[in-house]
Amino acid sequence: MTPEKNVSAGTRLGSMILDHFFMTMICMLFFIPIMIEGFAGAFTISHEQKDIDGGFSGPLFYIGLFGFALYFCKDCINGRSIAKRIIKLQVVDNKTGQVASPLKCFIRNIFCIIWPVEVIVT
């Protein structure tokens, strides 16, 4: 068990914003190939109708999904993400006081999609 430490809402919010910044930059690295493919195809002259899928198909799409997987698993390793390591915080289970399991961290991070709920809960 780790000693209990009360963390202010401002620190939690700062950690959340810092995490979002770092993980968005990392996630975007995996979407660069999709963007390059889209931009390269935009300047070819063709009179044929093109698929308007926005690059969300094919093998490059799976590379982009890997970036999302990293985002959702950001604090699965020992309950600490990049920002949490910088600020020296850790995700713990409320009931046991132990480090949250990777599955709990993943489920917690899935709700980043609806981030206003996370801001209110924080």
pLDDT digits (tens, 9 = 90+) for 48-92: 776 666 556 778 888 888 988 999 999 889 999 999 999 999 989
**Residue 85 and residue 23: Cα distance in Å, rounded?**
13
| Residue 45 scores a pLDDT above 80 | no
Decide which of 93 and 121 is more confident.
Answer: 93
Q: What are phi and psi of 8, to 5 degrees?
A: -70, 160
User: Which pLDDT does position 51 carry in this prediction?
Assistant: 65
**Residue 87 and residue 80: Cα distance in Å, rounded?**
10
User: Which pLDDT does position 55 carry in this prediction?
Assistant: 58
Single-letter residue type at 52: I
Kindly report the pTM of this predicted structure: 0.72
CA distances from 1 to 30, 59, 78, 87, 99 (A): 37, 44, 13, 19, 8
Decide which of 44 and 23 is more confident.
Answer: 23
| Residue 1 scores a pLDDT above 60 | no
**Residue 84 and residue 89: Cα distance in Å, rounded?**
5
Percent pLDDT > 70 in the chain is: 89
